[in-house]
Structure 1
Amino acid sequence: MFDAAIDSLPLTLENVTLTLPSSAGPVDILRGVSLVVGAGERVAVVGPSGSGKSSLIAVAAGLEQPTSGQVRLFGQDLGSLGEDGRAKLRRNRVSLVFQSFHLLPNMTAEENVAAPLEIARKPNAGRTARDWLDRVGLSARLTHYPHQLSGGEQQRVALARALAAEPALLFADEPTGNLDAANAAAVADLMFKLVAETGAALVMVTHDSALAARADRSAVMADGRIVEGG
């Protein structure tokens, strides 16, 4: 059972499993994962490919429903919510950044950052988008479309979009995985700087040991389990 202190934290997972069907039969992806993330804490999720890291992010963010166990975001049991309820809970409190930037190709950088704010009916969405693009060093790229931006610039737009609503929890799944060393370092610097400024907690999947070392701690996964640091 969760006590009151744990129940108030941004993220808690207790004995979470995830089993998915395949042509060869059911596959156990997560096998009894427990994880606690404190307010403002930065946690790196590391481990070999296929160990369940991205699936952990999907379940923790409510994008995938676990087979068993309990996931709580800000004290709310995700198992008690439908898809719309999970989306409503994430809105303004949870953001995600992925390895593939997932920018809308027919929107400019400014429009990509402003669109979620407009959907959430935030005032001054355009001005907020411009401010955040300036914070990630892209004030000269406001009207550029994704195909006109480098990979590093696209990920900076994605980071600005994720943090513009100042969420309390940021999930980042291999945020530097598609970038060369120089751009990866620049994006990592920005991510940690802006997370610190906003006070958001960070749960980050990465293969980059140097990036993981910048987190407060690492949760090491192997064969669908957290074997260290949960």
Structure 2
Amino acid sequence: MHDASAAPPLVLSQVSLTLPSAAGPVEILRGLDVRVETGERVAVTGPSGSGKSSLIAVAAGLERPTGGVVTLFGQDLARLDEDGRARLRRGRVSLVFQSFHLLPNMTAEENVSAPLEIAGARDAVAIARDWLERVGLSERARHYPHQLSGGEQQRVALARALASRPALLFADEPTGNLDAANADHVAALMFDLVAETGAALVLVTHDETLAARADRRVRLSDGRVVEPA
């Protein structure tokens, strides 16, 4: 019996992605091989259009690859339907994006607690308050997104992503919309909290300072890995 719990969080084997366009098919990813171990922090870098965000979309099961195999926690995503992929991600995979994606009609506390409640957590509000304290926003818990700065909104998004204690966090340009001071604060917080929870991190970034915090980097160019994965 294959022990999925012992499997690495993520393995991409010869993964390709071709998407249609008005000018004809466009190869976005070309034969990617990437492996992320438990608790490992990997930065994905490369020029704009090199396939960084597409790598996350395919790895998280949000986009089906055209070829190759994506294995998440030992399970081949191609063998799962959309519901199956959602079940596999639930509680084990979280995502943080450049845009904060907070629900505007919910307070910071509600934005963090709502996914926990949907997942059936009994202490969702208490967990949300604890995570807002960890990101330094206890006093802003009752504020709505429009009452928060960009840095504060991203810290709420980070608290929401990590409150479920996922085994794998995908972060796509998480500091891209922030000024230098807020970007540094959010980056330090993210790496501290990932280390604390033991989550693996796949971080897409063009920020060399942020990439340097990772254990390892995967550099993409034209949809291919050009530095060892």
- Please, what TM-score do these two structures have when normalized by structure 1? 0.97
The answer for the alignment partner of 1:173 in structure 2 is 172
Shift of 1:53: 0.2
Cα distance per residue 1:73-106 (max 9 Å; x no partner): 0000000011111011000000000000000001
- Partner SS, residue 175 of structure 2: coil
- Partner SS, residue 34 of structure 1: strand
- Contact in 2 for aligned 1:106/1:145 (Cα 8 Å): yes
- Partner SS, residue 35 of structure 2: strand
- Partner SS, residue 226 of structure 2: strand
Q: Distance in 1 between matches of 2:70 and 2:101?
A: 26
| Aligned residue type for 1:205 | V
Q: Distance in 1 between matches of 2:34 and 2:171?
A: 16
Cα distance per residue 1:204-229 (max 9 Å; x no partner): 00000010000001000000011113
- Partner SS, residue 125 of structure 2: helix
**1:148 is the counterpart of 2:147:** yes
| Aligned residue type for 1:30 | L
1:95-114 maps to which residues of 2 (within 5 A)?
95-114=94-113
| Aligned residue type for 1:148 | Q
Q: Distance in 1 between matches of 2:141 and 2:211?
A: 31
Q: Distance in 2 between matches of 1:39 and 1:123?
A: 27
| Aligned residue type for 2:117 | E
The aligned length equals 228
Shift of 1:21: 0.5
- Contact in 2 for aligned 1:217/1:229 (Cα 8 Å): no
Q: Distance in 1 between matches of 2:179 and 2:228?
A: 29
Shift of 1:123: 1.2
**1:14 is the counterpart of 2:13:** yes
Q: Distance in 1 between matches of 2:221 and 2:3?
A: 30
Q: Distance in 2 between matches of 1:130 and 1:121?
A: 17
**1:38 is the counterpart of 2:37:** yes
| Aligned residue type for 2:217 | S
The answer for the alignment partner of 1:200 in structure 2 is 199
Alignment RMSD:
1.4
User: For structure 1, which runs of at least 5 residues remain unmatched after alignment?
Assistant: none
Q: Distance in 1 between matches of 2:43 and 2:227?
A: 12
- Contact in 2 for aligned 1:34/1:226 (Cα 8 Å): yes
Shift of 1:4: 8.0
Q: Distance in 2 between matches of 1:82 and 1:225?
A: 27
Q: Distance in 2 between matches of 1:159 and 1:39?
A: 20
**1:220 is the counterpart of 2:219:** yes
Shift of 1:146: 0.4
The answer for the alignment partner of 1:81 in structure 2 is 80
- Please, what TM-score do these two structures have when normalized by structure 2? 0.97
The answer for the alignment partner of 2:135 in structure 1 is 136
Q: Distance in 2 between matches of 1:215 and 1:223?
A: 22
- Contact in 2 for aligned 1:92/1:165 (Cα 8 Å): yes
- Partner SS, residue 28 of structure 1: strand
Moved over 3 A (4+): none
Q: Percent identity?
A: 75
Cα distance per residue 1:141-189 (max 9 Å; x no partner): 0110000000000000000000000000000000000000000000001
